[in-house]
Amino acid sequence: MIVREGNGSGNRNDFSTDFNQIVLTSPSGWEFKTTGVTVSKTPGSDLGTVSLSSATATTITISVSVLASGTTSSNSNDQITIGGVEIRSTDGNPLPNSGTIVLGFTGTLKNLSSPQNIVSLSQVAGAANNFQVESSAGGNIPNQIAGTAFNIKISARDQFNNIATSFSGGGNNVSISSNAALTSGSGNTSNFSNGVLASHSVTINPAFSGATITATKSSATGTSNAFDVSGSAGSVGSVSVGPQSGVSVYGTSSAPTYDITSIRGTTGTVNGTYSVSGLPSGVTSGGFSPSESFTSNGSNAFPGATLTLNIAPNVPAGTYNFTVSLNGGGTPATATGILTVTKAESTIVATGLTSFTYNAAPQGPSTSDVTGSMGLVTFSYSGTSNGGAAYGPLADKPTLAGSYSVVATVAADDNFNGKSSAAYAFTIGKAESTISVNAAGPFTYNTNPQGPDQVTKSGSTGNVTFSYVGVSGTTYAASSTKPTNAGSYEVTAKVASDDNFNEATSDALAFIIDKANQTINVTTASPSSAVFNTGFTVAATATSGLPVAYTSSAPLSN
């Protein structure tokens, strides 16, 4: 790597006196070799000293000094040479990996700014260095059964354990061996594709404890995990699913469990695996506890498991079937489990007015507040009228005044139970009556009680009574009896309440009993003439029966 003044006499002073340092920086994921870096100057007439200050994995620092006399155009074109710089990708840095070495400096270099990207880097997987042998599904190879074929997966890896994709195609295969007896699958495999052999079948027989499988190509090799190979294969007989434990309610998350039991079919080794399928939307498996897999040898009983289901709140109420399977070689055993999601509870409260007034029409509260079910809301009314008549329960509102209650009921829907409210009390109060005394008369004294006694009223059918009282100087205490004597009076009428109407009293109505006319009848008339100072008799009566007073145009002595 060279840092050089430009050619030509005009470019011999590209290094300024304030130019004093060069720094090389490695990109992320890469590191410099920290030894072997060299620095030199040629021909050096412009330069004082050039030396390596430090070399780390991330930076290489070089100190520079420029002579004042070296900035004239008469001097030679000088250069700084940096040698022995090595860089590598950080061990284990995942692919792809790329970056750029950056050169920075302190001070002035004519026509150059700091920093500058100077070297582009890229990394690809290296050659096959070792092999990874695992289960065809990935991960450790599980325990196997003697004489039963199983598949393995092999991948070629470089020194940093990246897949060596160049290990592919013709001739790129491996030789398979084992510390146990391979009855099939030993020797050379088929060719890898982009560094991977996705599936290779092997069989181990007889049984072996701690078996491993090794893949080899020249000096590159790799060995699987240790696993056990047990005796001859047994078979699965049956599996059963116990009842649901734990209640699942619509609208609430839940995790019910089921006891899973199974029975072997034939004696031998069974590597069993429980699984569940056919779950409805919103339901997922929480797994089998203590494990979904087991190995059972000889005639030993199969271990059971507990299945947990995770139920989301939005799973509709209902009954759902699902399937639990036990695979262990041969025909799987299956059983049906039942998940029940029950309806959630609704709430309902009757609402509305609690006081009504009798109007001869049915009336009462007919609204409610409901949570949960979207079903039909109905109302039931019951109570007792003021007259003591029992009412309901009926869907029709009551009409008569009295004390009642209503119960609101919401019907169930798909996800919520039906519900009835608490009784909601209300009253139908009595309506108001009206009454007025009809004007009557005239009245004239006739020795008999008399006065107005007819009314106009609405509402109550109760008894009507009257009260008569003297006014304007007429003395007559309030009485239900009509007055007899001539004078001035007032009458008020009152209608008593009934079951549906309140009592009412009329305004006072004034009336008069006029005096009657009377006639004086002369029963003994005075003589047509009389002798002075002699007596005679005169007699008269009044039709009223009152005394008759006598007067004369001439003086009387008696």
Q: What share of the chain is helix, strand, coil (3-state, %, to 5)?
A: 0, 50, 50
How much is the pLDDT for 534? 79
Q: Which residues, given as ranges, of the chain have pLDDT below 70?
A: 7-13, 44-45, 69-76, 91-95, 329, 554, 556-558
Of 124, 113, 111, give the one whose Cα is nearest residue 8.
111
pLDDT of residue 133: 98
**Which residue, chain included where needed, has tokens 């991948």?**
155
What pLDDT was estimated at residue 83? 94
Residue 96: CB atoms within 10 A of its CB come to: 10
Q: Please calculate the CA angle 548-549-550 and round it to the nearest 5 degrees.
A: 120
The two tokens of residue 522 are 């002369």
Q: Report the distance separating Cα 493 and Cα 470, nearest Å.
A: 15
**Closest Cα partner for 267 from 294, 302, 292, 229?**
302
Residue-wise pLDDT tens digits, 390-443: 999 999 999 999 999 999 999 999 999 999 999 999 999 999 999 999 999 999
- For residue 145, what are its two tokens? 């059964």
What is the reported pLDDT for 538? 84
Is 307 in contact with 283 (CB distance < 8 Å)?
no
Which residue type, as a one-letter code, is found at position 336?
T
DSSP string, 391-412: EEEESSPP-SSEEEEEEEEEPP
Q: Residue 543 has what pLDDT?
A: 79
Residue 7 pLDDT: 56
Cβ–Cβ < 8 Å for 251, 343? no
Q: Distance between CA atoms of 202 and 199, rounded to whole angstroms?
A: 10
Burial class (CB in 10 A: 0-12, 13-18, 19+), 22: buried
Q: How far is CA 187 from CA 173, 176, 201, in A?
A: 10, 5, 12
Query: For position 161, what pLDDT does the model report?
Result: 86
C-alpha triplet 551, 553, 557: angle, nearest 5°: 65
What's phi and psi for 70, nearest 5 deg?
Answer: -90, 5
Secondary structure in 3-state letters for 530-545: CCCCCCCCCEEEECCC
74: left (phi over 0), alpha (psi -120 to 50) or beta: alpha
Cα–Cα distances in angstroms (integers) from residue 345 to residues 3, 171, 318, 389, 420, in the given order: 84, 70, 14, 36, 11
3-class state of residue 76 by DSSP: coil
